[in-house]
Amino acid sequence: MTNIAKGIKIIDASLYLREEKTIVIGDLHLGLEDSYVNRGTFLPKQQYNWIHNNILKILESVDVKRIIINGDLKHEFSKINKQEWTDVYKFLNFLSEGYDVEIILGNHDVMMKKILKEQGYNIKDYICFSNIILLHGDVIPEEALNKDMVIIGHEHPSVCIKEGAKVEKYKCFIKGMWRDKVLIVMPSFNPLIEGNDILTGNFLSPFIKKDISDFKLFVVGNKVYNFGKVKNLS
For the CB of residue 225, give the shortest distance to Mn ion in the complex, in Å.
Answer: 23
Distance (Å, whole) CA 214 – CA 198: 12
Nearer to Mn ion, 27 or 34 (CB): 27
Let me know how many helices (H) and strands (E) the chain has, helices first: 4, 16
Nearer to Mn ion, 20 or 72 (CB): 72
- β-partners of residue 8 are 5, 17
Choose the binding region for Mn ion from 26-34, 39-47, 173-181, 204-212 (rule: CB under 5 A): 26-34
Nearer to Mn ion, 20 or 27 (CB): 27
Footprint of Mn ion on 53-72 (CB under 5 A):
72
Helix or strand (DSSP H, E) at 179 = none
Q: Is 88 exposed, middle or buried (0-12, 13-18, 19+ CB in 10 A)?
A: buried
User: With binding defined as CB under 5 A, does residue 109 bind Mn ion?
Assistant: no
Nearer to Mn ion, 20 or 156 (CB): 156
User: With binding defined as CB under 5 A, does residue 155 bind Mn ion?
Assistant: no
Distance (Å, whole) CA 56 – CA 168: 26
For the CB of residue 135, give the shortest distance to Mn ion in the complex, in Å.
Answer: 13
Residue 148 C-alpha from the chain's centroid: 20
**Where on the chain is the footprint of Mn ion (CB under 5 A)?**
27, 72
